[in-house]
Amino acid sequence: MSLTADEVAKVAKLARLTFESEELEKFAGQLGKIVDFVDQLSEVDTEGVEEMAHPLDVDSVVRPDVVTEGLSRDESLANSPSHDGEHFLVPPVMAR
């Protein structure tokens, strides 16, 4: 079960990555090997085994609905590459 260059191009696009065509071929081979490795798991017979939602055997961890102090605006904007003192700034985007 190896991957095609087209499949790699598709996931690359979803991850907003751009590759040259020779890179796509190379990654198709590399990623295909990883997928094949993981695919060995499908050899295990899981008939009747309940699906696991989380590796920890813990559930229903909740907190009360209480407001706690967050960051100040200056702190929240501090690591942003671009801001106007009130907002994060990003290159113009079309309305989604």
Dist CA 71 CA 29 (whole Å) = 45
Dist CA 9 CA 19 (whole Å) = 8
C-beta closer to another protein: residue 22 or 79: 79
Residues that bind another protein (CB under 8 A): 14, 16, 53-56, 58-73, 76-77, 82, 84, 86-96
Answer for the pair 3, 32: CB distance below 8 angstroms, yes or no: yes
Q: Minimum distance between the CB of residue 34 and another protein, rounded to whole angstroms?
A: 16
**How far, CA to CA in Å, does 48 sit from each of 43, 45, 51, 59, 91?**
15, 9, 9, 22, 51
Q: Minimum distance between the CB of residue 17 and another protein, rounded to whole angstroms?
A: 11
Q: Minimum distance between the CB of residue 3 and another protein, rounded to whole angstroms?
A: 15
C-beta closer to another protein: residue 22 or 61: 61
C-beta closer to another protein: residue 44 or 62: 62
C-beta closer to another protein: residue 1 or 22: 1
Q: Give SS3 for 73.
A: helix
